[in-house]
Amino acid sequence: MIKVILWDMDGTILDFKTAECNAIRKCFAKFQLGECTDEMIQEYSALNDSYWKRLELGEITKSRLLVKRFEEFLSSYHLDASIAADFNKEYQLRLGDTICFLDHAYELIQSLQGCVKQYIVTNGALTAQKRKLERSNLLPLIDGVFISDEIGYEKPAKEFFDYVFRHIGNYAKEEILIVGDSLTSDMLGGIHAGIQCCWYNPEGKENIDNLPIHYTIQNLNRIRELL
């Protein structure tokens, strides 16, 4: 029986793509960079995803990632890349301006209070994640938060999960379920940690690496069936 749920936040509980779009546009306005088109946002989003994959593989540090992605993005449109560090600082704040829950996740988490322990496990940057947690009103509903910047390791690293296990109490691995949208951080990390894995896959993507995932769902509310 599942006694603990480890929730990923961006792309699982919260609609990250919408927040990302709004944050980029606000930053363009603040730095007077002109129009930020839908095409530009799509290209940035793909570029950003590639950098986070590199982080998961240990190919780049978090601090370098946060600035380098904007240096590359701005340069690709012949914009001033020297503002990348300041652009990133503003972006981290603006990410927390848009709180949009996927699949009524707030009500789901609220309904599971008292039934299971619930924790958030996230690789997102500390400033942005804390702002999102405060503005989303999730903190009163959950039992704790684990942010990679505070732990010193990123999902899917074993050390990240070892830290989580030391701080949530004594549970058997089969009593812990991680729910997340990322195969390469959430699912791979959960598999290596030996816990139950639930892939949130609303778009019906292919499990191209054939990871041995226990559950795949397209709507978060199916979690109730697993409990």
Cα 50 to Cα 36, 64, 217, distances in angstroms: 20, 14, 24
> Ramachandran region of residue 34, left (φ > 0), alpha (ψ -120 to 50) or beta?
left
Whether residue 8 lies in the annotated active site: yes
Phi and psi angles of residue 45, each rounded to the nearest 5 degrees, phi first: -60, -45
| CA dist list (Å): 128 to 32, 115, 148, 194, 223 | 22, 29, 12, 29, 27
Residue-wise DSSP of 146-209: EEHHHHT--TT-HHHHHHHHHHH-S--GGGEEEEES-IIIIIHHHHHHT-EEEEE-TT----TT
Q: Please, how many CA atoms are within 13 Å of residue 111, restricted to the half-sphere of its CB?
A: 10
Helix and strand element counts for the chain (H, E): 10, 6
Q: Tell me the residue ranges of DSSP E strands in the chain.
A: 4-7, 117-122, 144-147, 176-180, 196-200, 215-217
Q: Return the structure tokens found at 35.
A: 């129009």
Catalytic residue list: 8
